[in-house]
Amino acid sequence: MKKLLSLVVALVALFGASAVSAATPTDRSVKVIVMPDHLDWNYKCGEKPVFKVLVLKHHSPMQNVEVQYELSEDNMPAHKSEKMVLKAGEGVIKLGTMKVPGFLRCAVTVKHGGFTYTGLATAGFEVEKIKPTVEYPADFDAFWQKALAESAQIPMEPKITPAPELSTGTYTAYYVQYQTYKKKVYFHGLMTVPTKPGKHPAILRVPGAGVRSLTPMTELDLADFVVLQVGIHSIPVNLPKEAYRNLSRGALANYNRFNIQDRDQYYYKRVYIGCARAIDFLSELDYVDSERIGVCGHSQGGALSFVTTYLNPKVKYYYAHYPALADMTGYLNGRGGGWPHLFRTDMDKNLDKAKALKTIPYYDVVNFARGVKVPGVMACGYNDTTCCPTSMFSVYNVIAAPKELALYNEIGHWLYVEQEEARRVWFREKFLKK
C-alpha cells in the first residue's frame, strides 16, 4: 500500500503540474495514466513492454473500475481490444512486441458518470532506425529550383499597412501582402516590428493547418525580433471569424488534397513558394538583419519550417514542432503515415492513386529534410495521433545537418508552455547571444 501511495504522489506531482502549465489538455477529475516500464519509453525490437495503468478520481485510486484497452501499431487499427477490472485502480498490460522499428501504442478508456476518459502511452522500438517509405525523385531539386526561378520573375509588390489596434509600446504591428509565384496570387500576413531602432533578427512563423485570423505571436520576444506570421490561402488575415469558418467548411475544405494528382497544380506548390518568398520579403526590410533569419511552426507549420529552410538558403535556423506532411505513403506500406493521412479512409477512394503517387514525393517533408543544411530542432511526442511518431522519425532520421530532438514522450498533438519557452530561449541564444 505504501508503494502504491508513493506512486500516486509522484504521478499527481508530475501530471498535475503538467496539466496546470499546459496549453492543452485541460485537467479532469478522473485521470487514466498509462506508464511504460522503461523510463525513456524505448525498447529493442523483440522486447516485450509491460505497461502499468493507474485510474485516479480526485487524485485517489478508483476501486473496482472497469477499463477497456486497445493495442495497436502507430495509427493503425487495433489488433487487440479487451476489458479488465482494476480492483484498486491499478493494473498491468502486456503489449507484446515489434520485430521491426516502430511504435506500439496502448490506449486505456474508462467510462464513469456519463463521461469517457482515455489515457495512452506508446512504446518506441529502435526508433532511430525508422526509414521513410516515400520515394526520393531524381529531379526533386531541379523541380523546385525551376519553380523558384519562375517565381523570381514575378515581382513581390509588397504592401505593408499599419495595424495600430494591435500595436503596443514594445512593437508596431502591420498587415502584409505580397505576390507569390503567380501574378495576383498573394500571401497575407501579420508582422510585428520592435519599436527600438536598429536592425533586428527575424522569425517567420508558418501556420498550422486550417483557415484563421492572426494576432501578435507573444510567445516570442517581440521586443527584440521582427516576427512575420503568414496565412497560406490568399485571403486577408483580419476577416471576421465567420468568414474563416465558412471557408474551412466550404471552398477550402480538404484543401490539402486539391489537385494532388498533378504535381504542377497541387495546392501546396503555391504554399511552399509563398513561404520561401516570405524569407525574401523579410531580408529586404531595412530593419531586418538578413544574416539572422529563422523559421518555426507547428504541425503543417512544422512541415513548412523544413520546406522553407530547404528552399531558401537565407534561413539560418529552424524550429519545427511535430511536422505534418511527412512520409505520406506510410499507409500504403502497412504502417502509420503523416497528416493529412492519405489513403487511410474512404475519403481518398476516388483519387487516382497512380497519379497522386507521382505528386506526393515532390511535396513530402521527408525529402525536404534530406536537403536541410542548417542547424535546427524538431520537437515531438510519442502519443501524437495526428502527426504520428513513425512519420516524424522518418523525417528526423534523414536529416544530415546538425540537429536536436526536443522529445516529450507523453505529449500528443499539443504543447506544454515550457516547450514554447524552450523555443523562445533557443532562438535568443542563436540570434542574440553576443
Residue 349's pLDDT band (cuts 50, 70, 90): confident
What are the CA-CA distances from residue 402 to residues 316, 369, 430 (Å)? 12, 12, 14
**Where do the DSSP E strands lie in 269-313?**
288-298
* AA letter at 108: V
C-alpha distance across the termini of the chain, in Å? 55
Element (H, E) at 102: strand 102-112
pLDDT of residue 283 exceeding 50: yes
Q: Is the pLDDT at 11 greater than 50, yes or no?
A: no
Show the cell assigned to 250.
466550404
Q: How far apart are CA 338 and CA 14, in angstroms?
A: 30
**Pick from 391, 401, 393: nearest CA to 371:** 401
60 is catalytic: no
74, 327, 384, 391: the catalytic one is: 384
Question: Can you give the pLDDT at residue 22?
Answer: 38
The pLDDT assigned to 265 comes to: 96
Average pLDDT over residues 196-222: 96
Residue 16, all three cell numbers: 498535475
384 is catalytic: yes
| Distance from C-alpha of 365 to C-alpha of 91, rounded to nearest angstrom | 40
Compute the distance between CA of residue 321 and CA of residue 414 in angstroms, rounded to an integer.
Answer: 9
Phi-psi region of 343 (alpha: psi -120 to 50; beta: other; left: phi over 0): left
Q: In the prediction, which pLDDT does 27 show? A: 77
Name the burial class of residue 26, with classes exposed (0-12), middle (13-18) and buried (19+) by CB atoms within 10 angstroms of its CB.
Answer: exposed
Residues 214-250 have pLDDT tens digits of 999 999 999 999 999 999 999 999 999 999 999 999 9
Report pLDDT for 428: 97
The span from the CA of 190 to the CA of 230, in Å, is 6
Q: 151, 299, 305, 391: which is the annotated catalytic residue?
A: 299
pLDDT digits (tens, 9 = 90+) for 256-281: 999 999 999 999 999 999 999 999 99
Q: Checking phi first, is residue 327 left (phi over 0); if not, alpha (psi -120 to 50) or beta?
A: left
What domains are there in the chain, each with its CATH number? 18-129 (2.60.40.1930), 140-431 (3.40.50.1820)
pLDDT in tens, 78-89: 999 999 999 999
Q: Which residues pair with 82 in a beta bridge?
A: 69
Q: Please tell me which residue, 257 or 17, carries the higher pLDDT value.
A: 257
Task: Return the C-alpha cell found at 331.
Answer: 499507409
C-alpha cell at 70: 486497445
Our answer to whether residue 299 is catalytic in this structure is: yes
Global pTM? Answer: 0.93
Phi–psi pair at 222, nearest 5 degrees? -70, -15
Q: What is the pLDDT of residue 3?
A: 42
pLDDT for position 8: 40
Q: Please say if the pLDDT value at position 9 is more than 70.
A: no
Q: Which amino acid is at 160?
A: I
Average pLDDT across the chain, whole number: 93
Q: What would the pLDDT profile of 287-331 be if each residue is shown by its tens digit?
A: 999 999 999 999 999 999 999 999 999 999 999 999 999 999 999
Measure the CA–CA gap between 417 and 81, rounded to whole angstroms: 34
